[in-house]
A and B are shown apart, each in its own frame.
Chain A
Amino acid sequence: MKKFLTTAFLFTVAVAAFAQGAPGVQKSLFEGQYLAHISLAIAAAGCGMAQGKAVAAACEGIARNPQAAGNIRTTMIIGLALIEALVIYVLVAAFAVH
């Protein structure tokens, strides 16, 4: 997780460096579109990890007890929707920034 956050931070700095190279653009790092895009990337990464864990657990459950597949699948879909909702909030925020 620490490595992940470090990478995200370095990526942010790199993007900011590139952005400041562009002429006529006066935007700070934590403002506007850059922030929206970077935060969407971070949210998507977290969501990917969380959904991976959820699906892995559901697969394991179904493999151990195939009779419970229906219930596990329904619960998994609800859980995935709730996890995904957090990324969707960031996506909507990114829409709002544009």
Chain B
Amino acid sequence: MEHHASGLAVLLTWIFGLARHPWGTFAHGMPMSVLERYDHLLISCLAALVTVALALAVRCRLARIPGPFQQTMEYLVSFVRTLVSDNVAHEPDRYMPLIGTLGFFILLNNLFGLVPGLGSGTANWNVTLGCALVVFLYYNFHGMREHGIGSYLGHFAGPVWFLWILMWPLEVLGLFSRILSHSLRLFGNIAGEHVVSGIFFVLVPLVVPVPLMIMGLFFGLIQTFVFIMLATIYVSGAVAHEH
């Protein structure tokens, strides 16, 4: 995916006259500028800025009788809140901000792929790996805070004490492979959808890619939901108390 850059990066390179380096070339052999090479970072910074701007915009004009914009945002926030409180038994509101923010960030990143001139940040593995690593550190931290370090690491040994030498390595391996599956799922879906709609666009540039783009809209929503749902499940698994 290295040989494509979004129109925004190309435009900014042209406007600012950025230097071109031979660290990666386009398919037609032209060297790339720093913005074109790290295009996904540009798009994800844009998504992060839009997320912050939306939150500030709704925060500055909180009204007793909400307008359409505030109602939409309230619906989205209460959706995330229901999602978290359905899965986490104790203090769900503590875990809501990170999961909701990740949801907004990933949703915007996915949907930017459908805007002409922009691309998806999540179509690059580095971005999704970052999100998955944040979630990984977050739920392990909260697991250790809730249970204590020794007890948290100990609960991977499973219920039968003499099987710990078998269970503990497997469970820890499973814990670390969650990072991989969590990030690759999002990346593969978005990147695969882009490749498919790109191929259709090359074959038939009119009308035919439209159903695929609608499917891309749908998959962007579903994959965001799946990502934050799995993050919630991981958090609830880490902080749950056995009864």
Q: A residues engaging B (CB < 8 A)?
A: 74, 77-78, 81, 84-85, 88-89, 91-92, 95
Contacts and interface: CB of A to CB of B under 8 A. Distances in A.
Given A85-B184, A88-B184, A88-B185, A77 B192 contact: no
B222 A91 contact: no
Interface residues of B, number: 17
Given A88-B192, A91-B192, A95-B191, A74 B185 contact: no
Contacts of B213: none
Interface residues of A: mostly helix, strand, loop or mixed? helix
A74 B229 contact: yes
A89 B189 CA distance: 10
Given A78-B233, A81-B226, A89-B188, 6 more contacts: A77-B226, A81-B230, A84-B185, A88-B189, A91-B192, A92-B188
Interface string B200-223: 000000000000000000000011
A91 B225 contact: no
A75 B191 CA distance: 25
B187 interface: yes
A89 B184 contact: yes
Interface of B: 1, 125, 181, 184-185, 187-189, 191-192, 222-223, 225-226, 229-230, 233
Nearest to B227: A81
B229 A85 contact: no
A88 B223 CA distance: 12
A92 B1 CA distance: 11
Contacts of B188: 88-89, 91-92
Contacts of B1: 95
A85 B230 contact: no
Given A78-B230, A81-B230, A85-B181, A92 B225 contact: no
Contacts of B233: 78
A85 to B, nearest CB: 5
A85 B181 CA distance: 7
B176 to A, nearest CB: 16
A78 B229 contact: yes
B164 to A, nearest CB: 27
B192 A78 contact: no
A32 B109 CA distance: 32
A71 to B, nearest CB: 9
Contact of A85 (B185, B191, B222, B225): B185
